[in-house]
Amino acid sequence: MPTQAPKPAKAKDSKTAAPSAAKKSILAPAVDAAKMERAAAMLKVLAHPKRMAIVDLLGREEKLTVTKIYTELDMPQAIASQHLITLKDRGVLTSEKAGTKIYYSLLVPHLTEVIRCLEENIAKM
């Protein structure tokens, strides 16, 4: 007796059909889209060598004046000030006035770890 080919499966009702595998993301449970957006925004702020240098310097010191920052990093005062304003506006730094001086410090100290990680991995490339 000849073997019969299996019958094709019946189409499921669209209301009871399981979601297709193409629509499911394997990352969905582990990734919080809002957190990824904030992380990307933070990385954009760091996406300039001078801002990375400022964050790195402030990671080694508790707080510094604009004068100390631009002197240590050998950059013009106006450039340092522009980058400090950007970092402050984006929530990376805070400032505190003491007399005639303004001291800057990190609000997100763990950014220095991100910079270290990037430096170490770039060195391996």
Q: What is the pLDDT of residue 54?
A: 96
* 2 has pLDDT over 70: no
pLDDT tens, position by position, 58-69: 999 989 999 999
Of 12-16, 32-36, 58-62, 90-94, least confident by mean pLDDT is 12-16
Is the pTM value of this prediction over 0.85?
no
Q: What is the pLDDT of residue 61?
A: 92
* Residue 61 C-alpha from the chain's centroid: 22
CB of 60 closer than 8 Å to CB of 116: no
Phi and psi at residue 96, to the nearest 5°: -140, 125
Q: Tokens in use for 76?
A: 């013009």
Closest alpha carbon to 77 in 90, 68, 64: 68
| Structural domains for the chain | 34-124 (1.10.10.10)
| 81 contact partners, CB below 8 Å, separation of at least 6 | 66, 70
